[in-house]
Amino acid sequence: MKLSEESCRPVEKGERPLSGSEVQELAREVPGWAQRNSAIEREFRFKDFSEAVEFVNEVAGLASAEDHHPDISIMYNKVGLRLETHKIGGLSRNDFILAAKIDEMKAH
Burial class (CB in 10 A: 0-12, 13-18, 19+), 1: exposed
Cα Rg of the chain, angstroms: 13
Residue 104: how many other CB atoms lie within 10 Å: 14
pTM: 0.95
pLDDT, mean over the chain: 96
Q: Is the pLDDT of residue 26 over 90?
A: yes
Using CA atoms, how far apart are residues 29 and 79, in angstroms rounded to an integer? 21
The residue type found at 54 is E
Q: Is the pLDDT of residue 108 over 80?
A: no
Question: What fold, for 38-108?
Answer: Gyrase A; domain 2 (3.30.1360)
Mean per-residue pLDDT for 37-51? Answer: 97
Residue 35: how many other CB atoms lie within 10 Å: 15
